[in-house]
Amino acid sequence: MRDTVLVTGGAGYIGSHACKALRAAGFTPVTYDSLVTGWRDAVKFGPFEEGDLMDRARLDEVFAKHKPVAVMHFAALSQVGEAMSQPGKYWRGNVCASLNLIEATLAAGVKTFVFSSTCATYGDHDGVVLDETTPQLPLNAYGASKRAIEDMLKDFAASDGLNSVIFRYFNVAGADPDTEVGEFHQPETHLVPLILDAVDGKRPALTIHGTDYPTEDGTCIRDYVHVMDLVDAHVQGLEWQRAGNGPQNGGTEVFCLGTGDGFSVREVVAAAGNVTNRPVPMEDGPRRAGDAVKLVSGSKKAGDILGWTPDRSTMPQMIRDAWRWHQNGGYEG
């Protein structure tokens, strides 16, 4: 009998890849997703339970039915521009929903929790490779809401013995090399698929949001991690906890996941042109509110403790896998 893991947001981009990785590691992933931004077609590696995180009765029902040994929490609102203009949506949709989930988790007697956080909790630390000790000074409601959830997990560790592993990371790119699942948003907001849409003629051009940042080519710099490397870290964090090496009897452990290297928007565009051997139509646009100049993360702690290495996280590899999915993948429902 495979142990079950409840995966919130398992019908989304990162969550669906996590379900594949969990299945390969010997678990049965149970996807819990409202399908507001996720896709039923992305649920391929275990049972699906439709539901909203604000629906406590539905959560209790799912916990009782599947009896998970752990929760892996990906479900979240994550658009920076929207977080700037609609902060209330993010405090309700991320913080209140996560509180409901945490309380349901504890009520079901589950004490192992893996949380997908973000390096957006740090804000703008220009020229610094971020690590787990960097001060958290978020610039928008998205980063602030994720930081608040981290604080909740620490509080429930102290009060109820909840054990959690928290992962902070920046941009995720690439796709499952087998093209069973991939990145597919409606509307699309992430850089790599937007570039590939422009290359493929699915949009007239890529809009570069801000060309006057204090960087070498005037565009923002971000760290990118291959989605399969990222979800491997989440599974490693889960297995580390279950082996008795992680937090026990109430505790949290934070890991940053990054390559330590950043790519500007124009560098990503150039790499995509090289991989696809096609021109990338581009146009300049204004800065987006809440965007930091340069955000790069290290991962020494994750390497030392979990044995995690971002082997797939080269820009050509991420774009090659994304391009393969882009040409052959997609969801209809």
Q: Indicate which residues carry an active-site annotation.
A: 142
Structure tokens at 76: 């979240």
**Placement of tokens 């390096």 in the chain:** 119
Q: Which residues pair with 252 in a beta bridge?
A: 164
Q: How long, in residues, is the chain?
A: 333
Residue 35's Cβ-count burial label (10 Å; 0-12, 13-18, 19+) is middle
Q: In the numeric block, which tokens belong to residue 199?
A: 């290359």
Q: Which of 74, 61, 77 is nearest to 29 (CA)?
A: 74
| Identity of the amino acid at 187 | P
92 Cβ neighbours under 8 A, 6+ residues apart: none
Phi, psi angles (nearest 5°) of residue 35: 65, 20
CB 53 within 8 A of CB 100: yes
Tell me the C-alpha distance between 160 and 242, whole Å.
Answer: 18
Cis peptide before 187 (omega within 30 of 0): yes
Residues forming beta bridges with residue 287, ordered by sequence position: none
Of 172, 145, 6, 170, the C-alpha closest to 73 is 6
Residue 197: helix, strand or coil by DSSP? helix
Ramachandran area for residue 12 (φ above 0: left; ψ -120 to 50: alpha; else beta): beta
